Amino acid sequence: MSRMANLTAAHSAQPALGVRPAWRAILYTAAASAALAGFVAIPSAINNVAAPAADPALIMLLRFMAVVKAAMAIAGIALADWRFRHPASSRLATSYVVASGLMAAGSGLIWHIATIVEGAAVFHTGLALLIVLAWVDRGETQRLFGVAKVRSRSGRP
C-alpha cells in the first residue's frame, strides 16, 4: 500500500470528532427561530400591550442595549459552535442550543420597548445557563485546550 492509502485508511478508521453535524444545524436553526420569534412573532402576538411613553433618547439607548445583547448572543452561538466541534454529550449539546436560543430571543424582545422586561428575563436566563454550562464543562474544555488544572497555593482544587 502506498503512504497515501495508509493515511486514508487510518483516517477513515478513526471515529469522527465533535458532536454529530446535526447538532450544529440544530444550533443555527434554533437560534434563528428564536431570534425571529423575539423580533417578529411574539411582539405581534401581544400587540395589544402599548409601549410606555418614553423619551426618544431612552428608546435609542434601549435599542442599542438590544443590539449589544444580540452581539452577546452571537458570541454564545459561536462558543456553542466551537464546542460542537469536539465530543460532547447530548445533554450538554441540548443545553448549549437552549441557552443560545434564549439569548437570541431575549435580544429580540428587548428591541420592542413594550416587552423589555420579558426580554431581559429571557436573555439573562440564557446567559446564566451559558455561564453554568461553561462552569460544568470546564474540565473537558481544559483538556481540549491542553491546559493542566491549576491548583491554588493552599493545595485545594
Q: Which three cell numbers stand for residue 40?
A: 417578529
**Closest to 26 in 3D by CA, of 88, 71, 69:** 88
Alpha-carbon span 144 to 67, nearest angstrom: 31
Confidence of residue 40 (pLDDT cuts 50, 70, 90): confident
Q: Which of 67, 70, 45, 88 is nearest to 126 (CA)?
A: 70
State the Cα–Cα distance between residues 29 and 37, nearest whole angstrom: 12
pLDDT in tens, 110-145: 888 878 888 999 999 999 999 999 888 876 666 666
- At residue 72, does pLDDT exceed 90? yes
The secondary structure of 74-125 as a DSSP string is: HHHHHHHHHHTTS---HHHHHHHHHHHHHHHHHHHHHHSGGGHHHHHHHHHH
**What is the reported pLDDT for 8?**
43
Q: Residue 31 — very low, low, confident or very high, per pLDDT cuts 50/70/90?
A: confident
Instruction: State the chain's mean pLDDT as an integer.
Output: 77
Q: Cα separation of 68 and 54, whole Å?
A: 20
Other CB atoms within 10 Å distance of the CB of residue 22: 10
Is it the case that residue 16 has pLDDT exceeding 50?
Answer: no
pLDDT band at 37 (very low <50, low <70, confident <90, very high): confident
DSSP state of 1: -
**pLDDT category of residue 146 using cuts at 50, 70 and 90:** low
pLDDT at 29: 86
Q: Is residue 44 within 8 Å of 108, Cβ to Cβ?
A: no
Stretch 80-94: mean pLDDT:
83
List the grid coordinates of 30: 434554533
Ramachandran area for residue 33 (φ above 0: left; ψ -120 to 50: alpha; else beta): alpha
Q: Over pLDDT 90: what percentage of the chain?
A: 23
Average pLDDT over residues 60-66: 92
